[in-house]
Structure 1
Amino acid sequence: MCLGIPARITGIADAAAMLADVDVHGVRRQVDVLCVAPTDAPLEDLIGSWVLVHVGFAMSRISETEARATLALLAEMGELHEELSAMQSTGETGALHAVQ
């Protein structure tokens, strides 16, 4: 199953390419932020924001409360580990590594 999963934007990897670094429950990767990029502010304003990530794209901004509730629900359903494993095994939008 391929779900949208909450991630926190931790940095901007390449502003011209609209790529940001995100942390997804300890897994880091780069995602495309075109869909959530502010039109009237610098891309760096996204740092710290929570987004819903699906197939390498940040699809929408969500609140931290919603992000944490979704992560908890995914963990309860047993889907969180599956999704994180899938993210680690695919690298089409950047390298992944577990956070120490």
Structure 2
Amino acid sequence: MVPEHLREQFAMTKYYTDLCSGYLEQAVLARFISEGHYASHVRRIRKACFERKSALEAAIARYFAGRMVVHPTDSGIHIVCWLSAGLKGRRGRR
């Protein structure tokens, strides 16, 4: 909120000093989003993350069967694993 009589001065000051939100970049981003490219990008990344997460969970199930339990999450790229009870000392850290 800026008093009306200072509006133009603040707008010009922001224009000349605000390097973080350039007009060209904002216009390109707006067009990217409005043309559906961002939604397409998100779908592609979600699919890739799901495939990688599934591969990791399968590898853990195969190579750490009985020693590690994967708990399902909806986080996208993160998983939560617990070591099985009874794994202590050096053997548990391998």
Question: Higher helix proportion, which one?
Answer: 2
TM-score by length of 2: 0.25
TM-score by length of 1: 0.24
Which protein has the larger Cα radius of gyration, Structure 1 or Structure 2?
Answer: 2
Question: Higher strand proportion, which one?
Answer: 1
